[in-house]
Structure 1
Amino acid sequence: MWSSDRARERFSKICRTFPSFRLLFGGDTYTKPLEYCIMQMKNLDSVNQDSPEYNYSREYLEKCFRFMMTIDTTIVHELVSQLLKELDNGLRGAVEEVTVGVIRKMSIDFPNDIGIFSPLFLNHMILEPGQCCYYAAGELHAYLSGECVECVGCSNNTIRAAMTPKYIDRDALCKTLNYKMTEQNDYLVPEMKLTECVDMYAPDCKDFQLHRIRVGVDQSEEEMMMPTLDCASILVVTSGKGTIEEATTKNQLIGQYEVKRGDIFYIPPNHNIRYVGFGELQTKAIIATTC
């Protein structure tokens, strides 16, 4: 969901453009929460996100979302059909064509599912190779396509929202979401170049850290030391092949391993890992850490 004047205007424009979305979010039959939510978002440019005014608006956004998640399934089916007709008739509002394609595909893969509406109120992010994003607890998200490395904290409280035959705890979902309103660029985590071969991604959260390793035959050094971490981590080789050594912090050799694409290694805290032999192609690996 979004913050900033541009993002709030986008939400307001989508509500004005798609009658099906207005009905789903409580418009007309539940007018006050939806209209008040839109009005409040338009007036939040100079309001601190910790202020009562901002939190009051988020309460109304929660009411709109709860209305959507608890609406009768027969009505959802009707509104999904209406949304697809609206798109067929050329309605777009603030929705980009690439997002329209996502909605259509979702309607084929998950017919009549409430999640078909989600691209209208969630940020649609298309990450380029090497980009990283971070979602805090309590934020709706879904993966659409492509390959990625996901770091998840030790938890068993994942709450489903849509696009699944499994049980959805709607009440817990509505209570757990933080209804944070921000633009997609705020989720991106910038890369920090540690060495010629190592990039680090460290979000504003001490629990997660990710290192991207790229070594190859054109290396200036004969070996490459990977970051030594004081917590456990996992090494995933994503392409190429080579040789790595594992040692203690006192450089006592533990083992030497031939690695290739698809190999996964557990790295205990404070163990040194270094590449000592490079394959014919560039070798890429990811070290994922959840402390």
Structure 2
Amino acid sequence: MDRLSNTIRPYAWGSRTALPALLGTPATGEPQAELWMGAHPGAPSTVARERGPQTLDAVIAADPEGELGSAVVERFGPTLPFLLKVLAAGEPLSLQVHPDLEQAKAGFADEERRGVPIDAPYRNYKDANHKPELICALDDADAGAFEGLCGFRAPHETARLLESLAVPALAQLVEVLRSKPEEEALREALTLVLTTDPARVRETVADTAAALERAAADRPGDLSAEIHSALASYAALGRAFPDDPGAIAALLLNHVRLQPGEALYLGAGIPHAYLSGIGVELMANSDNVLRCGLTPKHVDVPELLRIVHFRSTDPGVLRPVPVPDSDGEELYPTPIDEFRLSRYLLDPADAGSHRIPTRTPQILLCTEGTAVLTDADGSSLTLRRGESAFIPAHGRGTDLLVTGASAGARSTVFRATVSLTQ
């Protein structure tokens, strides 16, 4: 077992209070956006080994099979295939989409061939991997529920919303959404939004935000209760991003509120954005992002339109399900092999320990209370709220024990690993 020392990324959209509250550290007044746990070269965690502190990526590179296990190396290669984060959004993140694996490989190879610098602000592909991800909401006293946008709403429903706003500049979008087949309608609508004359964007966004605010104060009318409850959030995007067509593109997407313990899975091609709140985020070990808006960063419209899946989707809120024949493990099911997220709720009334399989490499993160990890040799490691540990792959019969250690309070431990035989 290795206690992890982790890096906080200070992106401008980060909350100023959520991560300090989780970690029990003083707030600095500056944004603290993401706590990274893993072996990504951008901000690898540090572990203490016999020769002193070492980055986790260097430890794994020195002995891939010893740290990851032969099955993981054979399936995914000699690197940890996932990255675990705690994400704390005080302001909206960019509206974005991720490529699938083949698109990432081809895009990365093309930019390498053309000599695009890896750190160029206009580069799309930082690596040759895909970036499916899962976000699970945590308690946040300041933000309340975790808010986000995920996937296209059905075109006829969005047309009804836009028409109800009575903004003349949106009339063409309404016509496209009503008259074309779904895929064509969504593609043409997003293209129209992202290619709007910049001189017209500010006026359109301002008029739309004002109309959204008026509609939010009125009765739902023909709008569903779900859409009506999201109007204020859409209006806030317009006020925050007055010159950004992404504030209009956001209206094409489903609005989602996650309660603590609920999650979203985001596969390739699904446009999404996180708006506010704190959550545990698990993803493939990649940094490939194509942006649609809500950001001053580069937006490559032709490449974006090639990657996006133009179909309406249900956001599909996930809730944890018990794992059969496990010792209290609850799983967030996802159709991906590179990562697997589950949790253990350690009730103070239950004095027993829970067994955690260790045949695959994993990171354990305590988000509530205190947990004690005990290995087969009897060595123990205590994780307090916000602390994490890396567990290398072990052979069969060496399960880890986890026990809650918070008097009178529940402890929660998230487990990030891969989807091989557990």
**Coarse TM-score class (shorter-chain normalised):** 0.7 to 0.9
Measure, in 2, the Cα distance between the counterparts of 1:24 and 1:169.
23
Partner of 2:146: none
TM-align CA RMSD: 2.8
CA contact (8 A) 1:237 1:263 kept: yes
Partner of 1:258: 382
Measure, in 2, the Cα distance between the counterparts of 1:107 and 1:138.
24
Of 262, 275, 278 in structure 1, the residue corresponding to residue 402 of structure 2 is 275
Partner of 1:173: 304
Unaligned segments of structure 2, at least 5 residues: 1-150
Of 64, 79, 83 in structure 1, the residue corresponding to residue 204 of structure 2 is 79
CA contact (8 A) 2:173 2:192 kept: no
**1:188-239, CA deviations, whole angstroms, 9 ceiling, x for partnerless residues?**
2342213563211111333332111111331152x2212x254432211101
Within 5 Å, give how 1:108-127 maps onto structure 2: 108-127=239-258
Measure, in 1, the Cα distance between the counterparts of 2:404 and 2:297.
46
Of 334, 337, 341 in structure 2, the residue corresponding to residue 203 of structure 1 is 334
**AA of the residue aligned to 1:136:** G
Task: Give 1:2 shift.
Answer: 4.6
CA contact (8 A) 1:189 1:203 kept: no
Partner of 1:16: 163
Report the number of matched residues.
257
1:241 aligns with 2:370: yes
Of 343, 347, 362 in structure 2, the residue corresponding to residue 212 of structure 1 is 343
Q: For 2:273, what is the secondary structure of its paired residue?
A: coil
**1:238-276, CA deviations, whole angstroms, 9 ceiling, x for partnerless residues?**
011132123xxxx4x384212100111122234632125
Partner of 2:141: none
1:133 aligns with 2:261: no
Measure, in 2, the Cα distance between the counterparts of 1:177 and 1:145.
23
**AA of the residue aligned to 2:369:** G
More helix by share: 1
Within 5 Å, give how 1:23-172 maps onto structure 2: 23=169, 26-27=172-173, 34=176, 37-41=177-181, 57-90=182-215, 94=223, 96-172=227-303
Task: Give 1:65 shift.
Answer: 1.0
CA contact (8 A) 1:244 1:276 kept: yes
Q: Give the TM-score normalised by the residue count of structure 2.
A: 0.55
Of 208, 224, 229 in structure 1, the residue corresponding to residue 354 of structure 2 is 224
Task: Give 1:164 shift.
Answer: 1.7
Q: For 2:275, what is the secondary structure of its paired residue?
A: coil
CA contact (8 A) 1:236 1:265 kept: yes
Measure, in 1, the Cα distance between the counterparts of 2:277 and 2:228.
19
Partner of 2:128: none
Q: For 1:133, what is the secondary structure of its paired residue?
A: strand
Measure, in 2, the Cα distance between the counterparts of 1:77 and 1:171.
22
Measure, in 1, the Cα distance between the counterparts of 2:339 and 2:273.
19
Unaligned segments of structure 1, at least 5 residues: 42-56
